[in-house]
Amino acid sequence: MELIGDDHELYDVLRRPAQPQYDHVRPEAIARCRTAEDVAEALAYAGSRSLPVTPRGGGHCFAGRSSTTGLLLDLSPMAAVSVEGGLATIGAGARLAEVYRGLHEFGLTIPAGCGPTVGIVGLTLGGGLGLLGRRYGLTCDRLLAATVVLADGNVVVCDDDRDPELFWALRGAGGGQFGVVTSLLFAAVPSPAATRFRITWPRDRAADMIDAWQQWAPDAPDDITASLTVTADRVEVFGASLAAFDPGPFADGEVDVRDDLSWPDLKRSLSEGGSDERILQSKSEFVRTALPRATIDELLGSGCELNFTPMGGAYNRVPVDATAFAHRGERFLLEHTGPDGDAVRRSWSVAHPHASGRVYPNFPDPALPDWPTAYHGPNYNRLLSIKQKYDPTNTFHFPQSLGGPR
């Protein structure tokens, strides 16, 4: 373990999260961890000084949970990607761009997100939505085992046979609530050639396109993932298809199709344009039935960007209690984002009466009045028991975590 204080030249680089609104949160120290044993040593150090401790693989948490005023565990040195017999072992510090590149060398991939700098562990622990999800399920649905450093420093490898309750909880509860995950083992899938598509219209077509999208995208064939976004000047349907792409009800838009892309190239093409360093507010909910047209019209007057992500397919063919991820009956995820928090809250309140009340654990919302139900649904009590078994001292605590007050 390498301990870094604020007098070290690397301190400012390592402490900085991907979400710029949490850049002011400064840890007392940073522990650079290269092995599970380093993590155990860091946890002992934090415990001896009564420091709160936070692991960081990616740093993209919407609620700032990957920042701390205590000891920050920098897992970035553990970024190796290896493959044996179709199984992928991925270190906790790996980001998605590294994962896709490393697996593609073996003709493989995993269903995961598009953000190239998103950390693989954070994505997996909260479920993991992505362009292959409707075909293969959540990122956590492909997880076979995980190496975890517990609060007492013990290192365990959990799977369906070893510490199965811990393994169940790691698949979708969100955050580092039970221990520090240092390595993940996945059942990989073939890395496909695919079609990337973007279809755009002027913003005055947004209501019609949302109406058509929500009737079509969640029920589309599993090989198609089509998201929709509405910005200040346009509406866009975009995504990927593993088969020949037919724009269907969207053929009257400006169609941009790129055929036969490798999976890493397709991911890169959807990430073109760089990162957005604005300080954005965000609220979201899952939706189980189509939004009424009057609600759509009101949403479009909110002044927010709207992002629609389809569910259905393989996501919804897994029983609610098979993993900790409880959101198996939703049609789509609706996210409201923008720099104006009041506008975001107004937009969310318009859609809320028609939403399911459930929230994606990877899009945490500090303002939720009943977060246990929103994040965990019927799985909450089981998760609480697992938390009490594996972290009885509540070492891995943050607002809305299982060990905190309800």
Render each residue's pLDDT in the chain as its tens digit; 406 residues: 899 999 999 999 999 998 888 899 999 999 999 999 999 999 999 999 999 999 999 999 989 999 999 999 999 999 999 999 999 999 999 999 999 999 999 999 999 998 899 999 999 999 999 999 999 999 999 999 999 999 999 999 999 999 999 999 999 999 899 999 999 999 999 999 999 999 999 999 999 999 999 999 999 999 999 999 999 999 999 999 999 888 888 999 999 999 989 999 998 888 765 555 566 789 999 999 999 999 999 999 999 999 999 999 999 999 999 999 999 999 999 999 999 999 999 999 999 999 999 999 999 999 998 999 999 999 999 999 999 999 999 999 998 999 765 3
87 and 55 assigned to the same domain: no
Q: What local confidence, expressed as pLDDT, does residue 406 receive? A: 37
213 and 295 assigned to the same domain: yes
Cβ–Cβ < 8 Å for 311, 331: yes
265 and 301 assigned to the same domain: yes
Of the three residues 171, 190, 209, the one that is the final residue of a domain is 190
270 and 344 assigned to the same domain: yes
Cβ atoms within 10 A of the Cβ of 226, count?
25
Taking the C-alpha atoms of residue 130 and residue 270, their distance in angstroms, rounded to an integer, is 12
199 and 169 assigned to the same domain: no
Domain extent, residue 98, equals 81-190
CA distances from residue 182 to 77, 161, 215, 305, 376 in whole angstroms, order as listed: 11, 19, 41, 35, 24
> Would 397 be classed as within a structural domain?
no
26 and 42 assigned to the same domain: yes
| 186 HSE (CA, 13 A, CB side) | 34
139 and 33 assigned to the same domain: no
> Would 385 be classed as within a structural domain?
no
Q: What local confidence, expressed as pLDDT, does residue 279 receive? A: 62
Triad 175, 14, 81: Cα angle to 5°: 65
340 and 212 assigned to the same domain: yes
Q: What local confidence, expressed as pLDDT, does residue 110 receive? A: 98
Q: What local confidence, expressed as pLDDT, does residue 261 receive? A: 93
Contacts of 208 by beta carbon, 8 Å cutoff, 6+ apart: none
Taking the C-alpha atoms of residue 72 and residue 55, their distance in angstroms, rounded to an integer, is 6
* Per-residue DSSP letter, 247: -
Cβ–Cβ < 8 Å for 334, 285: yes
Quote the percentage of the chain above a pLDDT of 70. Answer: 97
> Would 393 be classed as within a structural domain?
no
CATH of residue 21's domain is 3.30.43.10
Q: What local confidence, expressed as pLDDT, does residue 278 receive? A: 61
Q: What local confidence, expressed as pLDDT, does residue 403 receive? A: 79
Q: What local confidence, expressed as pLDDT, does residue 19 receive? A: 87
244 and 364 assigned to the same domain: yes
> Would 143 be classed as within a structural domain?
yes
CATH of residue 292's domain is 3.40.462.20
By CB atoms closer than 10 A (0-12, 13-18, 19+), residue 106 is: middle
167 and 251 assigned to the same domain: no
> Would 380 be classed as within a structural domain?
no
Of the three residues 36, 59, 74, the one that is the final residue of a domain is 74
Cβ atoms within 10 A of the Cβ of 251, count?
9
95 and 182 assigned to the same domain: yes
Cβ atoms within 10 A of the Cβ of 364, count?
25
CATH of residue 163's domain is 3.30.465.10
Q: What local confidence, expressed as pLDDT, does residue 32 receive? A: 97
> Would 402 be classed as within a structural domain?
no
Domain count, the chain: 3
> Would 386 be classed as within a structural domain?
no
> Would 382 be classed as within a structural domain?
no
154 and 224 assigned to the same domain: no
Taking the C-alpha atoms of residue 335 and residue 344, their distance in angstroms, rounded to an integer, is 9
What are 55's strand-pairing partners?
73
First to last CA, the chain: 35
Of the three residues 40, 74, 108, the one that is the final residue of a domain is 74
